[in-house]
A and B are shown apart, each in its own frame.
Chain A
Amino acid sequence: MATEAGRAIQTPQAPQAVLGGLADDLATTCLALARRFWTGATMWCTAPAWPQHAHHVAVEFVHPVIMGKRALPAVAVTDPDPVSALRTLARQGDILVAVANADDRQVMAAMRRGRAWGLETVWIGAGPRPDAGAADHVLWLADEDPGRAPHVGSFVLIYHLLWELVHVCFEHPGLLRADDSCTDEVCVTCSDEGHLGEVVAIGRSAEATVRTATGPALIDTTLVAPVALGDLVLIHAGTAIELVEGAQT
C-alpha cells in the first residue's frame, strides 16, 4: 500500500492526456442534451455505487455556479432500486445520466430500459468500457483506474464540462430545434430495425401493451409467450421477436 499511496500523491494524471476522443463525445452529448432540455426534458441522475456523484450532477444543473444561467430540472435518484424508481418517474423525452462502472448491473438495466422509456441516456465511467450501444452516449475514461477515478475528481471534471457545454449550446437556438424532417433513407417501420418495449399490460390471445420510445403500443407476443409485466422485448413489425430481459433482472 505504501508504494501505491506514495505514487498517488505524485502529480495527478493530466486530464488533457486522457481526454482524447472524449472531447468529441462530450461535444455531441452536450448538443443532444441541450436539445432535450429545450423541449422540456428532466435530467435523472443515478450513481448507485457513489450517490454523491448523482447529487453533484443534479445540483450543478439546478443551481448553476454562474449567475444568470438558466436553472435546469435535474434530479438525483438514490433509490435502492433505481430501475423501479426511474420507471415511475421518467417520461418520454427525458434524460438519464449514470455515473458507474461498466459492470454495474442496475445501471445496465436502467440504460436498456431507458430505450423503451424514450430517454436519452448518458453513461459516465472509467476503466473497462460498457458494451457497444449500452447507452446513447458513453463518456469514458478508459485509461483510468476504475477504483481511483471516482475519488480523484475525474468524474467531477466530466460532469462540470457537461454542464458548461450544454449552456454554450443554448447560445445557438437555431441548432436546438427538433429536426422533424426524416432524413433516413429507409423508414424504421419498413426496415429490419427492431425496437424495445416494456410490457405494461397483458391482453387476451397473446397480445400485450408495451411502453416504447414513441409511446404505448399493442403488440403480438406469440413468438415469446408467455410474457410477464415488466418484461423487456424486442419488437419488429408489431410483434415481439425476442425476450431481452425478464421483469425480475
Chain B
Amino acid sequence: MSTTAHNGHSKGDAPTRGGTVGTPPGTRMPSGSDFLYPFIEADEDDAGPLLIDLAASARGKATDSGRLQAATIEAHRPALGALARAMADRFTAGGQLFAFGNGGSATDAASLAALFTHPPGPARPLPARSLVADEAVVTALGNDVGFELVFSRQVIAHARSGDMAVGLSTSGNSNNVIRAFGEAHRRGLLTVGLAGYEGGQMAACEDLDHCLVVRSDSVHRIQESQAALAFALWSEVQTALSADRAGAHQ
C-alpha cells in the first residue's frame, strides 16, 4: 500500500503540469497489477485491515506535520520577530498587505489575508487582501497580458511604497509570484516569500526581503507548515502593535 504523498509536482505552482487523465465516472479503474493477480485486490472483501492501515497512516502523517510545523517555527523564530517589527511599522504608517499564490497556495494566501482583516478574538484588524480574489481581474490579466503577470500588474495598479507583498509557492518557483516580487521591490514594498523544498528560485531572489522556507519535499506538509508560519507571523505583528500601544500610553 502506498500512502506517501511525497515528491511529485506541487499543485498549482508547478512549472509544468502533470495532467491526470481521469477514468470516466462510474467506470471501474483497473489497477496496474490486476492482470497479474486478478484474484487478490479485486476480490478483497474485508475492509477491516484497510481501515486500520488508513488510521495508522493518518496518525503518522499528522505526527510528521506537527514535527515539521514545530521545526519550521523554531528555525524562523528570530527572522519572524524582525519581520513582524517591520510589518507592524508599515501597518502603523498606513501600509496594506497583498497576498498571492497559485492553486492551494492561492487559498492559503486568501487565508492569510482573512486572518489579518478578520482576526480571532480581540486582535486588531489590519488591511490585507488576496490578489487572487477577483476572478474578473485575474482572468482579464491572464487572457490579455499572460498568466505570469496576473499578480505583478495588480501590484502596479494598487501598491504604494509603504505596503507589503507576501507570496506563497510550495516549489518557490511560481513565475507569476516571482514577477510580482520584482515589481513590488522596485516600488519600495516589503517583500516576503513563503516557499518549500529548498526554496527554489525564491531562495536566490534578490527582490525578496525575507524568504521563509519550509524544508520538506511534501507539498501537503509544506502547506500545513506555511499556514502555521503565517499564523505565527500574524501573532508577532499583533504583539508588536500591542507593545507600541502600551508604550504610547505610558
A positions within 8 Å CB-CB of B: 1-2, 4-6, 8-9, 11-17, 19, 22-24, 26-28, 30-31, 37-41, 50-53, 55-56, 59-60, 63-73, 145, 147-148, 150-153, 156-157, 160-161, 164-165, 168-175
Contacts and interface: CB of A to CB of B under 8 A. Distances in A.
Interface in B29-70: 29-31, 34, 41-45, 47, 50-59, 61-63, 65-67, 69-70
Contacts of B22: 70-72
Nearest to B47: A175
Contacts of B67: 14
Given A67-B9, A147-B121, A59 B107 contact: yes
A67 B19 CA distance: 7
A52 B65 CA distance: 21
Interface string B58-96: 110111011101100110010010000000000000000
Given A67-B18, A156-B224, 11 more contacts: A2-B243, A8-B231, A23-B59, A63-B12, A66-B18, A67-B9, A156-B108, A168-B50, A171-B31, A175-B44, A175-B45
A147 B120 contact: yes
B107 A26 contact: no
B66 A9 contact: no
Contacts of B110: 51-52, 55
B228 A153 contact: yes
Interface residues of B, number: 83
B28 interface: yes
B108 A5 contact: no
B232 interface: yes
Contacts of B34: 173
Closest 9 CB pairs of A and B: A153-B227, A67-B18, A174-B44, A147-B120, A40-B25, A14-B66, A27-B54, A40-B26, A8-B235
B175 interface: no
B124 interface: yes
B54 A11 contact: no
A37 B220 CA distance: 22
Nearest to A39: B26
Nearest to B43: A174
B92 to A, nearest CB: 15
B216 interface: no
B238 interface: yes
A151 B18 contact: no
A12 B91 CA distance: 26
A240 to B, nearest CB: 33
B8 A157 contact: no
B58 A26 contact: yes
A15 to B, nearest CB: 4
Contact of B104 (A5, A60, A145, A168): A60
B23 interface: yes
A11 B73 contact: yes
A5 to B, nearest CB: 4
Given A24-B55, A50-B114, A64 B11 contact: yes
Nearest to B110: A52
A71 B34 CA distance: 21
Contact of B219 (A65, A72, A73, A174): A65
Nearest to B32: A171
B124 to A, nearest CB: 7
B15 to A, nearest CB: 13
6 contacts: A16-B63, A40-B26, A152-B231, A156-B223, A160-B5, A168-B53
A60 B219 CA distance: 11
A11 B104 contact: no
B59 A173 contact: no
Nearest to A28: B51
Contact of A168 (B2, B12, B225): B2
B143 interface: no
Contacts of A52: 107-108, 110-111, 114
Contact of B58 (A150, A161, A174): A161
Could you say which of A6, A17, A171 has the most chain B C-beta atoms within 10 Å of its C-beta? A171
Nearest to A176: B28
Contacts of B25: 37, 39-41, 73
Contact of A14 (B70, B122, B124): B70
Contacts of A161: 58, 61-62
